[in-house]
Amino acid sequence: EVQLVESGGGLVQPGGSLRLSCAVSGFTVRTYDMHWVRQPVGEGLEWVSGFGSAGDAYYRDSVKGRFTISKENAKNSLYLQMNSLSAGDTAIYYCARGGSGWQNRFFDLWGRGTLVTVSS
Amino acid sequence: QPVLTQSPSASASLGASVKLTCTLDSGHSAYAIAWHQQQPEKGPRYLMTVYSDGSHNKGDGIPDRFSGSSSGAERYLTISRLQSGDEADYYCQTWGTDIRVFGGGTKLSVL
């Protein structure tokens, strides 16, 4: 079955760190662009970071220097290392796949999400 | 970078049709967009990609009741024969230089 399963969310204090994981099944993470998208509770979707199939990584401005996206081909997984967290990072974090070829501009598969709460 | 504008809410009756709109800013009016559906308490689901020429291609398993179209800078999602399960938030999405962009979403109520 083709699916994405996120894990690693939880409660963390301001200034703390958290590492999110996305376990991929049904396809190889090596051959697709992969992304993280977040959604503050009750609000809209916000793209966070992407990792291209060519190995390039890119981030929204508000997380640059704090978040690091990575892939591990052997475990067929995607990760998001989040440092210096603040209340504004509180959200459900979704793993998403970019489509094939030119369609890699769009997300064609989503996970169920993992909740990150930054609070003292 | 592109900006996508959506109406915050829409409503239609069970069994009727509804057309949701996503508007691209003038500098990106030829861009394609994707539509994603998010039912309550669930992750998003890809519905389709809609191109500037009005063509669209749908994701796996998306019913024929869902279709896409375009006019100028507007991209549309039409849902026919509305069902209660169509009550959801609908987001449009496109891309920019090293970023991805979402519209604010439209909450669809099925009456």
Give residue A99's pLDDT. 86
Q: Compare all CA atoms of chain A with the CA of B48 and give the residue at the minimum distance.
A: A108
DSSP SS3 for B93: strand
Cβ atoms of residues B10 and B20 within 8 Å = yes
Residue bearing tokens 């210096």: A84
Q: Compare all CA atoms of chain B with the CA of A46 and give the residue at the minimum distance.
A: B102
Chain A residues inside the 8 Å CB shell of B94: 105-106
Cα distance from A120 to chain B (closest Cα, Å)? 26
Task: Say how far residue B60 (Cα) sits from the centre of its chain.
Answer: 16
Instruction: Please state, rounded to an integer, the average pLDDT across all residues of chain A.
Output: 95
Mean pLDDT value of segment B9-16: 97
Chain A / chain B CB contacts < 8 angstroms? 61
Chain B residues inside the 8 Å CB shell of A112: 42-43
Q: What is the pLDDT of residues B60-98, one digit of tens each?
A: 999 999 999 999 999 999 999 999 999 999 999 999 988
Give residue A103's pLDDT. 83
- Flag whether residue A46 sits within 8 Å of chain B, measured between CB atoms: yes
Cα distance from A78 to chain B (closest Cα, Å)? 17
Please answer yes or no on whether B43 and A108 come within 8 Å at the CB atom.
no
Tokens of A69: 């996206």
Q: What is the pLDDT of residues A30-88, one digit of tens each?
A: 899 999 999 999 999 999 999 987 788 999 999 999 999 999 999 999 999 999 999 99
DSSP SS3 for B110: strand
